[in-house]
Every structure is written in C-alpha cells, then in structure tokens.
Amino acid sequence: MTAPRRVRLTPKARREQLLALGVRMLATRTLDDLSVEDLAEEAGISRGLLFHYFRNKQEFHRAVVSHATEQMISLTEPDPSLPPLEQLSAVLEKYLDYVLSHYEVYAYLIRGHARTDEEVFAVVEETRVTLANRVRDNLHLLDLPNDDISYLAIRGWLAFVEEVVVKWVPEQKVSREEVLRLFASSLPAVIAAAH
Amino acid sequence: MTAPRRVRLTPKARREQLLALGVRMLATRTLDDLSVEDLAEEAGISRGLLFHYFRNKQEFHRAVVSHATEQMISLTEPDPSLPPLEQLSAVLEKYLDYVLSHYEVYAYLIRGHARTDEEVFAVVEETRVTLANRVRDNLHLLDLPNDDISYLAIRGWLAFVEEVVVKWVPEQKVSREEVLRLFASSLPAVIAAAH
C-alpha cells in the first residue's frame, strides 16, 4: 500500500484555488466576515502559507473581489449567435443568477459599506465601466443611438439594475420573470428617454 | 460710544447656525476634510463651545448630513399648483441645482466612500426612502400604476438619477437641458417598462 499522494499545485494554480474558495465563501458572508484564518482552515493549509500568496487581509480581499467580478463579467458574456433581444435577456438572467448566489457580498459592495477600502471600490467601479462599454458596443444591435447621452443613460441603467436587484432579493414581492422583464425593457426605454 | 453688542443665540438657533455653516462648507470639500476645528474657526467660536453642541466629529458629521438631506428634501417639495409633468420637471431642476452647489459631498455620499460611518449611510438611505415614497404618492397624477413593481422601478430610477448626475457634473459632455429631460422622461419610461 502507498500513502495517498497530495497533489502538488503550481503557485498560480494554488492562488486560483484560494481565490475561488474565497468567492464561494462570500456567497454566505460579507467581506468583513471573510477572515484569512477561515480561508486557511477551509483550504486545509497553514495561515503562514496563505500569507505567502496574499501579503495581508486587504490584499486578499482585493484579490477575491477582482476574481468575483471577473467571473461575473465572463459569465455574462453575450452570445452573438442569439438575436439581440434574446442576447440581452440571457445576459440579464445569468447576471441575476450570479447575484442570487453571491447576494451578501454583492449587496455589500454595491451599497458601498464603510470599512471597505478604496481599492475594492475601484475594482467595483472598473467592473461597471467594463459592463457599460459592453452595452455601448452592442447598442447598434438594438437599433439604439450610440452617443454621449446614451452612455450616461447606460451608466444610469446599470445603477438602476444594481439597486433593483439589491432591493428585490430580500423581499421578492414580484416574480423573477417580472424583474428580468423590467431589466431588459428598461434599457431601450431609458435610451429612448434620453433622445 | 457703546461696544457692539454680540447677538446672543439660543442653543437651538446656534446649533442650526453651525449646521448650516457645515453644509455650506461641504459645498467645496468632502466629509473627510470637514474638521471640527475648521468649523469652529469659521463660526468664530471656540472648539470647546462647538463640542458643547456636538459630542465628537462623528456626531457632527451625522448632523450635517441629516441637515443637508432635509434641506434637499424640503427644497424639492413638489408644487401641487403646477400640472403633473411640470411639477416633476421643477422638482428635478431644483434637485440638480442642489447637487451642483454641493457636488463634492453629494458624490462622496452617493458613491459610498470608505471611511464614512454606517449611520451616515443610514441617513442617505432614509432620504432615498422619503424621495421614493413621494414619487410613489404622486404616480397617479402621471396616470402610472402604483404597485410593487412600480415601487422597485422608482427605487431603481432614483439610483439611475444619482448615478447620471454624479457622472455628468465633472464632464458635462451633454447639456443641462438634455440631462433634465433624461431624468423627467426616464421615470414614466421605467414604470412603463415594468408593466
């Protein structure tokens, strides 16, 4: 009999694994409650080894938030094989599912809680820019004008969606279908309102 | 000759005066930069006397933010003598002027900067509830349905307006008239999109 061999991960793979674990742990707790100690315990590694990957709690938090937002951006990539309106609906559905499975931390980041550091806010704001640019680059598919006021309306619409989802999840007074319809139909509505 | 008599203010009046001064000072600086020392100097009173009115910097900041939001709520009170759409436009114009003259602190509060304490965020959130209720109570004037999804759409629309104004002010790539039109026409647009 041989002892079970421990899989030796490359530093990059180990770092990825720790970040993925951090994001999963954020599904049920906020950033304030995500301690380096808990993560080390869940990952089955020492606190010392963890600090080899992240110099301190702040760096770990920033990395986890970056990882989560990159994941959300890639999961909500539009599928160009679908007709434009279906693309938009599919993106919004994936977005809603992502928020639902990471609600605590999403609401925490969107609402800009105290104690969070400026660099974490910067990551959230960069994500908004990425999403707004993606919407802008697809406006022509929906026959919507692409100009300065449309871009302002898109930024506003992203804030609209964030606010509605954060308010909707805890109460769910209206159905998921109604919320998704509101998201999809409000985008062309505000762009039209801008012109 | 008699020496100029100093006007003796009641404690309540003095407190109001200090808060009004605090709000004016916030026109050009953020909450982080509003020190109790600066306020005492501007008001021509001692730091000790100021602490008679506000126990500490935190209490002072909360009181100033409450004062500013109450001022904004009262300045944007709709005028029922106007036709409904004009009421909405007039309210939005007064809101925009208020933001323009307190931009630094408005953007700071809306964007939820770190270092701000939770009670200040709570004041901002209460203000949103007050404004959302006011819009809801006037929906019938615009022949718009008043139900749960309308309320969600109103909350989202307030976030839309906040985001657009914060993004618009520093760049002003589109005109003030275009922004005001976007605000006014996006409200019925998102409510319609919700149904």
Query: In the predicted model, is pLDDT for residue A175 greater than 70?
Result: yes
Q: For Cα atoms B103, B164, A87, give the angle at the middle one, nearest 5 degrees.
A: 155
Which of B133, B135, B132, B139 has the alpha carbon at shortest distance from B155? Answer: B132
Q: For Cα atoms A174, A179, A180, give the angle at the middle one, nearest 5 degrees.
A: 145
Cβ-contact A165, A107 below 8 angstroms? no
> Chain B closest CA to A11's CA: distance in Å?
32
Cβ-contact B87, B138 below 8 angstroms? yes
**Torsion angle in degrees (nearest 10) through CA of A175, A181, A182, A183:** 110
Most B CBs within 10 A among A186, A187, A195, hence the mutation to make, goes to A186
Nearest to A156 among B115, B163, B194 (CB): B163
Chain A residues bordering chain B (beta-carbon distance below 8 Å) = 111-118, 121, 148-149, 152-153, 155-164, 167-168, 173-174, 178-179, 181-182, 185-186, 189-190, 192-194
Residue B37: band (very low, low, confident or very high) from pLDDT cuts 50, 70, 90: confident
Q: Phi then psi for A17, rounded to 5 degrees?
A: -60, -45
Cβ-contact B120, B62 below 8 angstroms? yes
Determine the Cα–Cα distance for residues B125 and A78; give it in Å rounded to an integer: 33
Q: Phi then psi for B128, rounded to 5 degrees?
A: -60, -40
Determine the Cα–Cα distance for residues A127 and A73; give it in Å rounded to an integer: 8
Q: What is the DSSP letter of B94?
A: H
8 Å CB contact of B148 and A113: no
User: SS3 of A111, please?
Assistant: coil
Nearest to A189 among B111, B178, B192 (CB): B192
8 Å CB contact of B152 and A167: yes
Nearest to B193 among A163, A174, A186 (CB): A186
Most B CBs within 10 A among A109, A164, A174, hence the mutation to make, goes to A164
Mean pLDDT, residues A149-160 taken together: 97
> Chain A partners of B164 at a C-beta cutoff of 8 Å?
152-153, 155-156
Q: Quick one: pLDDT at residue A90? A: 96
ipTM attached to this prediction: 0.89
Q: Which residues contact B141 (CB under 8 A, 6 or more apart)?
A: B84, B87
Nearest CA in chain B to A112: B112
Which of A155, A153, A104, A163 has the alpha carbon at shortest distance from A129? Answer: A155
Q: Tell me how many residue pairs between chain A and chain B have CB atoms under 8 A apart.
A: 125
8 Å CB contact of A112 and B112: yes
The whole-model pTM stands at 0.89
* pLDDT digit string, tens, across residues B181-194: 999 999 999 999 99
* pLDDT digit string, tens, across residues B127-181: 999 999 999 999 999 999 999 999 999 999 999 999 999 999 999 999 999 999 9
Cβ-contact B52, B14 below 8 angstroms? no
* pLDDT digit string, tens, across residues A31-67: 778 888 888 898 888 888 888 888 888 888 889 989 9
CA B58 to chain CA centroid, Å, is: 19
Cβ-contact B171, A186 below 8 angstroms? no
Query: In the predicted model, is pLDDT for residue A71 greater than 60?
Result: yes
Nearest to B159 among A148, A163, A193 (CB): A163
User: SS3 of B111, please?
Assistant: coil
Q: Phi then psi for A108, rounded to 5 degrees?
A: -60, -45
Most A CBs within 10 A among B30, B108, B152, B162, hence the mutation to make, goes to B152
> Chain B partners of A129 at a C-beta cutoff of 8 Å?
none
| Helical pair A176-193 and B148-171, crossing angle rounded to 10 deg | 40
Q: Quick one: pLDDT at residue B116? A: 60
Note every long-range contact of A34-37, with CB atoms under 8 Å and residues 24 or more positions apart, other chains counting. A34/A61, A34/A64, A36/A60
Nearest CA in chain B to A178: B194
